[in-house]
Structure 1
Amino acid sequence: MIAVRRQCSRCVSSDLGVPTCLARVGGSLGCSLSSDHDNVSPGRRCCSNGLCGGSIRGARTPTTSLGCRASLMKTRGFATSDREGLDLASMSNVRRPDQEVGIADPLESTSPVYSEADVEEVCVLLLRPEDWDSTREALEKCNVSFTSELVVEVIRRCKCRSGAALRFFDWVGKRDGYGHSLETYNMAMKIAGGAKDFERMRSLFYEMRRKGCSITPHTWTIMIMQYGRTGLTDIALGIFEEMKASGCEPSGSTYKYLIISLCGRKGRKVDEAVKLFRQMMKSKYVPDKEFVEIYLGCLCESDKLSDARKCVNFLREVGFSTALSYSLYIRALCRAGNLEEAQKLLNNAGAEREMLNKYVYGSIVHGLLRKGNLEAALSKVDEMKQAGVSPSVHVYTSLAVHYLKEKEIEKAEEVLETMKREGCEPTIVTYSALIRGYVGAGKVGDAWSVFNQMKSEGPSPDFRTYSMFMNCLCRIGRSEEALGLISEMLGDKIVPSSVNFRTVFYGLNREGKHDLARLVWQQKLDLAKQRKSMT
């Protein structure tokens, strides 16, 4: 079994990293797409944050309309990657979501105005395994000056214990001389929605309105995002419409998170996503790279290539370089298995093909391997090496995953050794694939060795790594070892999901270990009570 080393983040580079020189690539690439998207006109945008006329699921219309306007900020520059700068001097009316007032988390835009010792003292009380009555008594005795900034930080740090965090929120809100702010309400709504307690999230919204607290686009976006992330996209769309009906205009972040939700596996609604993206274009919001990757990926998977081409044209108009725009598109095509269209796009690149090819070959290799065409993939790797381009971590990981799926463990280990020898450190995805491959080959001891070395040396296992390892162990009849992973997750402050508990529960029952299965189910219930219990 090969030795693993600590991940060096600087060595992990994407095949989509496009240097500034590629911004000059144009001409023949641009000719391959038709510019037939809707024309957009610059204009000033306003936002009224009152809820005049709109409501969430039957809430009464407020008697007072609280006005607000979203401040417009001119885009000074939009870096689409760590190494590429773009000149947007002629785009004074184009806006980025993160340049709008009220979009960023208040904690990220202001310096702390609370005592760190006070925050830690309150957090210790909330996170200890005692009943609420004892915790409340301790809170009343502590000598802490409660401010809205301190409350936001406390409940943010205690979000893993949503029940305790929200009880504290209610308790502190009743203290004399203290009043919740917009920021504390928004954070509490995030925590309630993150725990899937949507009834509580909505009640906080109604409470904000009753107390005359300004309802901003950020508040609406929190609700839309929390519903959307769980696949409840019909509800998210309904809230979006109510937001507009209330007179509060969607922000760039509102569009971003709603469209991302509509592009997800759960609750996918591609036509609605396309419609909203067009609205976003007309509103002069510039999407970020993360959003573009998700949106293009969804379009390519759904075979909506005409809409994907319109998106690429829009990106080029708002300042993305031609190379980066097409790299994102080609990557999406490859991931969707449409290598023919990706190759056709490259063939139309003309004289610039060789330069562009260097930055998309990782995606091409990955796509070929997913199709099972190992020979063509290796040929592509050799071709790029001869051109002086070193394989990226993406390429090496794709090769390793292919060999592991084919049960060719030794070849996968050779890939990883070559990878490290050339100074390209494996990522958490690489190591997770190795663990899966070892378990599949019956080398469970080697899988545990890799997992333990990840914990001690890094990169640390994340939720996906734990979940994958549990599934693999339960599948081969070693559910008791998977049970130990649940305890390790909690020790690493990673909250197991209901699926994790069910996987281990059913695995233990299949193996006849019914007492342990009941213990797992009790752990699940106890954790649910800790997270969701309310006053």
Structure 2
Amino acid sequence: MWRSKAARVFLLQSSSFSVRRFPRPLLSQCPSKTLTQIPPPTPFPSKWIFPTRSLHQNPRFFSSGSDTESREKIGKVSTFDFVESGESAVDQNSVFGDESDAIPLDSNPGLVSGESESSSLDFGVVKENGEVEGESSLSSLWEESVRGDDSADIFTPDDTLGGAEDGVAEIDIEQVEKVQSLLQSTSQEQLKSGLNKMDLSLSEGFVARVLQTPLVSAENLFGFFSWASRNDKSVKSSRNLELLVRGVSSCADLSKMEAYMLWDLVKEIGCEMGLLNTQTLNQLIAIFWKLGKARAGLEVFDKFDEFGCNPDANTYYFTIEALGRRSMFDTAWPVCQRMLNSGSLPDGEKVGKIITFFCRGKKAKEAHSVYLKAKENKIYPPRSCLEVLVGGLSSNDETIFIALELLEEYSGESLKYANRPFASVVQGLCRTKNLHEAKKLLMRMVNSGPAPGNAVFNYVITALSKGGEMEDAIALTKVMERRGLRPDVYTYSVIMSGFAKGGLMDEAYKIFCEAKKRHPKLSPVTYHILIRGYCQMEEFEKALECMKEMKEDGLQPNTDEYNKMIQSLCLKALDWRTAEKLLAEMKESGLHLKGITRGLIAAIKELEEEEIQSKGRSLQA
């Protein structure tokens, strides 16, 4: 039993790269046994590989006393070399501490409290003739720890570095480091000759280690993988291909040419079924996404079936995002349909980006189907995404009522801050002349929230005024005032426009006077509504008075105001004299009348003169 526990302690201590020293007096309690009588240990599986350490590089692992004296006393056995090579425990580079460095048994956390002193871990002493004193030699402990039944739980598969299929002897750490140094410091032109000069023992695990080297250019990774695959076909594995793609994608200066070279290599190897997996192809799509090569990303997506791989949620997301960078909305939708049919949707944040992407491309209806599928799968995109979706649906006449239904998704705290989506739906209902639904939704906001602002009221008041429903429009202004809102100049202007359109100029002027009381400075549009309304009713004197009042209020009529007024005076009143006065005012203000209107004044004046001459000739006759 003590052997199993001792082995476990030894393995755990070795994994942290420290060498424990144990009391020397206990060594004499065990009979001697030569190393030649002990069978060599089983090669250590690759998942228990430890990094290489050498005596001169790591003096901190040894006794604080003289190293030379320790070698003469104890011999030379290297636990580190043994761990890496899996060979005999006897080597020329190992030392153990002296008695002064002994660690008490009860201080070792790997042993059960209460064990007798005779249970201490005894490595034995190596004599000059090669014999080892002590019952338990280093090899016998390793043999028991590897083959014993009670040490299997010390290491887990998570400790694997090179894969369980790699033998320890296949990977020479020193060779790996040399190749890594070559890749980091050599140009592509010199890489092949440098590799040929090395007598490398290639294997899948060896190549896997090298492909994980940081700070290597994409060209050198390609060059090494191609060279290795020509010399040893076993390096062409699914794992190594994935590591190659991952390594190339991590290159900061990856060019489009190198990305296409990688894709050509993957397609060539992909013909051998089973060597490609979904993760590798996803990484390729992500590379083209970052480089803005949407069609190349789509080409990778289309090859999944040919390579025998099944797209997952990330596959669809990366492909849609890649197409999104080029605004290829129509091309992205079939990919999204495949995603919806497969049921493999990414997380809520990514679903939100997909919905936003299609709304930006004016495909709000398609985005809504993504939202419904995500909700069915209990995937919830961010609340901001719902706002974008409602806005996209509201901007389309065909989907305005879908947007109205989506407002039911807001409740509780989220309802308080949903002014924008509610306002967009109200605006959409007014645009499509669904005034009943617009008024209903507005009153729902008044009673239940979110609290409507002036803009929402103005949407409905404008729609009512254009529809001639002036009583309802006036009533809504009263609701605004009761809620502490003051109708703005725009509100009064649209109501005035509604009255003027119906020929009710007296009511329009009353609203004008009310607006002037509330707002000392009105907009030119407000005066323009009155002037045009009076001109349509052929009340030119009142129109001129409004223009005069406009000047007194510090607002200068523009060219359009004068143009409309002069045309009305000439065509309806035949009053070219007043028109000429207005033309003179324009010149003083630096405004220029259109030539066609200037010609109209001259034509009316000439027509009047001809009529006067005609009457004079008649009188003479």
Tell whether the structures are fold-level matches, with TM greater than 0.5. no
* Higher RCO by CA contacts (8 Å cutoff, separation 6 or greater): 1
Structure showing greater Rg: 2
